Amino acid sequence: MRLTGKTVLITGAARGLGRATALACAAEGADLALLDLCDDLDGVPYPLGTRGQLEHTAALCRKHGVAVLTAACDVRDLSSVEAAVALAEDRFGRIDGVVNNAGIAAPSGRPVHEIREDEWALMIDVDLSGAYRVIRAVAGAMSARRSGSVVNVSSTAGLVGYRHFAGYVAAKHGLIGLTKAAALDYAPTKVRVNAVCPGSVRDDATAEGRMLAEIARALEVQVGEHEQTFTEAQPMNALIEPEDVAAAVVYLLSDDARQVTGSVLTVDGGFTAR
């Protein structure tokens, strides 16, 4: 129960890695503020998480006996982020940990010269600037308490390039840069900032994940055969499970990682070791 007595705020918590991380935190005793857009976005060619899915995540977490708050939040809008953070602080008194998980995988699937400016802006706004807004909203109070942990969910795309994914790669590389810079900003006040870089994560039915399938579509890989295609690219010959990533996040949130900041933890089965 490494997170007992702590409150953790998670963005993009309706499904996928967000749900898996929420469940792992609940199992470790954390009270939770679960945020998601709960709507679709113009320009994103697949359905995003719904309010019903967010509430289902909350219900699963409550089975562990923890308190859970849910809220719709658009990480593209600072006022929306600040309102959600204020709601969580009012309910729980403080926020001890943050998981910046909200993100989109598309629009993607084209070379740089075919990416429209609005598509580029959308990807950066959600996947990079969204994390900045959340850190901005929580870091002052964390610094005043001289305690806190922020975990940014980047990707192997934050460490290497992928063909036809320039916007996503740029955003996730930027998230690594933000992690390192923020870690130095807040190290004097004992607030830690780290990142996890998942590899190809299996679309687990329980978590209702669909990110890998959407990446496959953008790459024009046949959905239904895509898991085998991605598995063949993995040195350990297996896809990453959502729970594998969630376990890494829990470690970084916990006091076990009290001297870990500015670090990038890969959970990729050795993909980026080559």
Please state the domain extents for the chain: 7-263
pLDDT digits (tens, 9 = 90+) for 57-84: 999 999 999 999 999 999 999 999 999 9
**pLDDT recorded at residue 222:** 79
The yes-or-no answer on residue 132 being catalytic is no
Give CA–CA dist 165/55, Å, rounded. 32
**pLDDT recorded at residue 62:** 98
How many other CB atoms sit within 10 Å of the CB of residue 258?
11
- Indicate whether 171 pLDDT > 90: yes
How many other CB atoms sit within 10 Å of the CB of residue 243?
17
For residue 8, list its beta bridge partners: 32, 97
Which residue carries 């308190």 as its tokens? Answer: 67
Going by C-beta distance under 8 Å and a sequence separation of 6 or more, which residues neighbour residue 201?
16, 17, 209, 211, 212, 239, 240, 241, 242, 245
CA distances from 56 to 46, 60, 97, 167, 210 (A): 20, 6, 22, 31, 16
**pLDDT recorded at residue 232:** 87
Fold of the CATH domain 7-263: Rossmann fold (3.40.50)
Q: Quick check: 158 and 173 in contact, CB under 8 A? A: yes
- Indicate whether 90 pLDDT > 90: yes
pLDDT digits (tens, 9 = 90+) for 185-228: 999 999 999 999 999 998 888 888 888 888 887 777 877 778 88
Averaged pLDDT of the chain? 95
What is the arithmetic mean of pLDDT over 94-99?
98
Q: What is the pTM of this model?
A: 0.96
**pLDDT recorded at residue 156:** 96
Active-site residue identified among 132, 168, 186, 251:
168
**pLDDT recorded at residue 228:** 87
Q: Using CB atoms within 10 A of its CB, is residue 189 exposed (0-12), middle (13-18) or buried (19+)?
A: middle
